[in-house]
Amino acid sequence: MGFNISKWALEHRSFVVYLMIASMLAGLVSFRSLGRDEDPAFVIKTMVVQAAWPGATINDTLQQVTERLERALQETPHLDFLRSYTQPGRTTIFVNLKGATPASEVPDAWYHVRKNIADMRHTLPAGVVGPGFNDEFGDTFGIIYGFTADGFTHRELRDYVDSVRSKLLLVPDVSKVEMLGAQDERVFVEFSMQRLAGLGIDRSALIAALQAQNIVSPAGVIQTGNEQLLLRVTGAFESEEDLRNINFVANGRMIRLRDIADVRRGFADPPKPLFRVNGKPAIGLAISMREGGDVLALGRNVEKAIHDITADLPLGINPILVADQPHVVEHAISDFTTSLWQAIAIIMAVSFVSLGARAGLVVAISIPLTLAIVFPIMQLAGIDLQRISLGALIIALGLLVDDAMTTIDVMTTRLAAGDSKEQSAAYAYTTVAIPMLTGSFVTAAGFIPIGFARSSAGEYTFSIFVVVGVSLIVSWIVAVLFAPLLGVWLLKRPKPTDKPSRILTGFRGTVVGALRRRWLTIGVTAGCLAVALALSPLIPRQFFPPSDRPELLVDLRLPQNASIFATDDAATRLSKVLAKDPDVASWSTYVGRGAIRFYLPLAVELPNDFFTQTVVIAKDVAARKRLQARLEEVLANQFPSAISRVSPLGLGPPVGWPIQYRVSGPDITQVRDIALRLAGVVSGDPDATHVNFDWMEPARRVRIKIDQDQARLLGLSSQALAAVLQSVVTGTTVTQLRDGIYLVDVVARATDEQRVSLETLRNVQLPLPNGRTVPLSQLASFDFDQEYPLIWRRDRVPTLTVQADVAPGTLPETVVGNLAPAVQALSAGLPVPYRIEVGGTVEESANSQASVKAVVPLMLLVMITFLMMQLQRFSLLALVLIIVPMAMTGVVAALLLFQQPLGFVAILGILALIGMIARNGVILVDQIETERAEGKAPWDAVIDASVSRFRPIMLTAISTVLGLIPIAATIFWGPMAFAIMGGFLVGTAVTLIFLPALYAAWFRIKEPPADVVAAAPALGAER
């Protein structure tokens, strides 16, 4: 071998010591400055495009606005699918990019969306407002404060909260502050149509008078020799009193507005989405952190700012912390850091017990040295301390001591053989450095599917690949650069002994027995694998588990034509239930919209009057489980007409309802019929609960049929009639009152009793061009018909989704698997082009697993390349590859025994096992070849190599398994931990027992005569 790093390190001891000290200091500084977060950041590859066409029917909106926009949006680069919902006069389109889209290319895709829509905007019908764009759909607002007021009006509270918002925007690391639940003010001018008609007052003339007096228009500038004088005309409205005092001429008389109309200030009617804290009306401030910020530092800064701001707020205005992501992150990081230290302590204890005090101390010192180098690299790579990276560190811990253990084991062996410390260190590098490096690359290659999986789930777990890969390479550097020097300082020459340990003696006997009964050993191992594969379908499948946070999301979806007032009433009733529950710590309610994204994997609901979402914080996770069961019963009994769902927060990419089937086709009636039949199939499974549809039932509408001939005779048009009805029922914004920084709309409309009665509408007096009036019933008839309040489409095809939850203790994959035959039978009988597609958790899981499987060939290529570089022979490569799948026996046994699901994270663990097992295999096979190259008989070489590699391979397995215990009980990492623990233990046994037997069978190695066999132990002792 050429350059010997270990020998060089011993020749430059002072410099190497300096490197160790510098590494430790850099690691400490980086550990303290690394960002903290709950979950790794991943890009929500969704953009929202919205447009409005006031007054249009749902069919006109669908065909003239939604269809035109979707045609243009289909040209978006990296487009996965379009999903839209259309309401009368309004369309909302979700532009979803493929999961494989690199995060760096997402902004460019959104630029193309804006450009394409700008190019086609002129083709939209006249009167369309927008389209508007929201490409910040994935922003997370981890800190939310709710401000309640006692003795203050809503406007006064809003002024104070707006002032607080301005101050919070100056806090370091704050990116955006969104206001929740604030209601816009209105000045209502309410009049009686009958009274106007009786006085002969033209409504349009009244509105024109208001607009003409309040207009902002230049009056000119006088230029003199010395100065310029601006001319200003008075008359602008500054208060409601100005409006009441306005005069206008009607039938030759001056009439004040106060004499014929009620002028009052109020709030938008119907209201904008509402926000409540613990059942009390509130205004919220949601705070988003800048990219790359430290959420813990943000929490401290915001807490201090709120404390200072509160001191200046009047009594009665109280800020209440609604969402506190910094506290959650601090708690989660603390728990994981504790698990990390526990794992370090366990592995150090294993090293001391198995290797002895001095050798164990060398291995123990290598752990903090390795971590100290890894932390700065994580900081340079932009990887914070969060759920995934900390778990990856714990996974890596057991692996990163392997190289140091191997180095120290070889040094100890050579010291026992009589070499000096320096010679033993140099020999260790010469014999095991390259196999260790190859093994590190092979193990790291097992994590390639995690690092290169092009999906949201892959992006979410990417830091596993980086952290484990870096840790393995750094551990090799520590093992060949620092460990030899530490060994020279700390190791002593072992006392000579003629009697090997009982463990090694027992293991030698086991290997000899396996070699003598090689075909039985091979058969039993293969049989165990066959049994494991046969039992693998019994393992429940899962995408990502629920979070261990105490929050519950309570969704209430009323009929889709419900008003926000009905939704508010339902939310109020739910708040009364929560107020009496002993397991509830606090709650916040969003009426007319879903909760703002306070948690990255949250499935966000856009504003809709018929929807309300309550975020309930239970006192702990146990209380959350009790509360969920009670709330489901309450919702079923007290809110039977609403579609309700109670669910904990999820982990991984947001999905929504766990069970989803999409029914698509051109004819809406046919789609509804198929969806109803499909819902019957889903309801037949007792584990599928709360079966519902994302849209289904048409809603009533009042159709006013105009006698066009009669209208023309009277000098009226449909446009004029619609304008009158709009101003009577909803109101027409006629001007704006300028109030400080606010613009308050002045809305003219009829009085309450005339706006809510259909009979009153029949008698609405319509002004004629000649000054007279006629009732609406004279030229129009009223009847009822139906139209859909909402239509969902996917890729421009009407799509109705059948949704369902799962019974407690049941996984969505299990339910969908049970339903598959019946759903396939229904789908097979559908006419073309109608189809049923599986969505929800199962679809997202399949997409994520497909992205991982797509990279498996690359993983195998890289892994086999490194193995071939080391082994140089196809026969040896085949031996190593054969033992890899044998670890599945342990994986299946562990998952079944401990009732763990096979989810996305567990699959990543299984893929990682491939590299771990192959690493051990290549080290053992390389040792056998080394022993044979030194002149030993093949039989003795196999036995001696197995015995010599027994301790480092077994210690690595024990360290890895015991090191995973702290995270084995966690919801997220548990399945992966048990998969690795079971697979690595069995894989280690396979490597040490099955591989020698397979090697002997492959190369037809026979046991030598008895006298040679008897000499083998003595030869082994001499080594």
Q: What is the mean pLDDT of residues 1007-1018?
A: 57
Q: Which of 479-493, 672-686, 749-763, 839-853 has the lowest mean pLDDT?
A: 749-763
pLDDT digits (tens, 9 = 90+) for 928-964: 988 888 888 899 899 988 988 888 888 888 888 888 8
pLDDT digits (tens, 9 = 90+) for 139-181: 889 899 999 998 899 999 999 999 999 999 999 889 999 999 9
What is the C-alpha to C-alpha distance for residues 588 and 602, in angstroms, rounded to an integer? 16
**Structural element, H or E, at residue 956:** helix 938-963
In the predicted structure, residue 1020 carries a pLDDT above the cut 50:
no
Give the pLDDT score at 1018.
43
Residue 249, beta-bridge partner list: 254
Q: What is the mean pLDDT of residues 442-463?
A: 82
In the predicted structure, residue 1014 carries a pLDDT above the cut 70:
no
Q: Which residues of 220-257 are buried (b: 16+ CB within 10 A; e: fewer)?
A: eeeeeeeeeeeeeeeeebeebebbbebebebeeeebeb
In the predicted structure, residue 611 carries a pLDDT above the cut 60:
yes
**Structural element, H or E, at residue 587:** strand 584-591
Share of the chain above pLDDT 70, in %: 97
Return the DSSP state at 955: H
Question: Would you call 777 helix, strand, or coil by DSSP?
Answer: helix
> Of 237-251, 829-843, 948-962, which has the strongest mean pLDDT?
829-843
Half-sphere CA count of 108, side-chain side, radius 13 A: 7
pLDDT digits (tens, 9 = 90+) for 62-103: 999 999 999 999 999 999 999 999 999 999 999 999 888 888
Supply φ then ψ for residue 122, to 5 degrees. Answer: -65, -15
Q: What is the mean pLDDT of residues 191-200?
A: 73
Confidence of residue 214 (pLDDT cuts 50, 70, 90): confident
Q: What is the mean pLDDT of residues 311-332?
A: 89
Average pLDDT, the chain: 87
In the predicted structure, residue 1023 carries a pLDDT above the cut 50:
no
Q: Which of 118-122, 253-257, 705-709, 768-772 has the lowest mean pLDDT?
A: 768-772
Question: Would you call 774 helix, strand, or coil by DSSP?
Answer: strand
Share of the chain above pLDDT 90, in %: 39
Confidence of residue 418 (pLDDT cuts 50, 70, 90): confident
For the chain, which domains are there? 5-33+356-494+501-543+849-1022 (1.20.1640.10), 46-134 (3.30.70.1430), 185-216+232-267+700-787 (3.30.2090.10), 549-650 (3.30.70.1430)
What is the C-alpha to C-alpha distance for residues 433 and 440, in angstroms, rounded to an integer? 10
In the predicted structure, residue 1017 carries a pLDDT above the cut 90:
no
| Residues 807 and 686: beta-carbon distance below 8 Å | yes
Q: What is the mean pLDDT of residues 687-691?
A: 91
**Structural element, H or E, at residue 396:** helix 387-416
| Residues 428 and 410: beta-carbon distance below 8 Å | yes
Q: What is the mean pLDDT of residues 313-334?
A: 88
In the predicted structure, residue 508 carries a pLDDT above the cut 60:
yes
Q: What is the mean pLDDT of residues 325-335?
A: 84
Q: In degrees to the nearest 10, what's the CA dihedral of 765, 767, 768, 771? A: 110
Could you tell me which residue, 304 or 907, shows the higher pLDDT? Answer: 304
Give the pLDDT score at 1019.
42
Confidence of residue 575 (pLDDT cuts 50, 70, 90): very high
| Residues 342 and 367: beta-carbon distance below 8 Å | no
Give the pLDDT score at 1021.
42
The angle formed by the CA atoms of residues 166, 169 and 171, to the nearest 5 degrees, is: 125
Confidence of residue 473 (pLDDT cuts 50, 70, 90): very high
Could you tell me which residue, 370 or 761, shows the higher pLDDT? Answer: 370
Confidence of residue 499 (pLDDT cuts 50, 70, 90): low
In the predicted structure, residue 1016 carries a pLDDT above the cut 70:
no
Q: What is the pTM of this model?
A: 0.83
The three-state DSSP-derived secondary structure of 313-380 is CCCCEEEEEEEEHHHHHHHHHHHHHHHHHHHHHHHHHHHHHHHCHHHHHHHHHHHHHHHHHHHHHHHH
Q: Which of 591-600, 655-664, 822-831, 1010-1019 has the lowest mean pLDDT?
A: 1010-1019
Q: How far from each other are the two terminal CA atoms of the chain, in whole angstroms?
A: 21
Q: What is the mean pLDDT of residues 259-285?
A: 91
Confidence of residue 1011 (pLDDT cuts 50, 70, 90): low
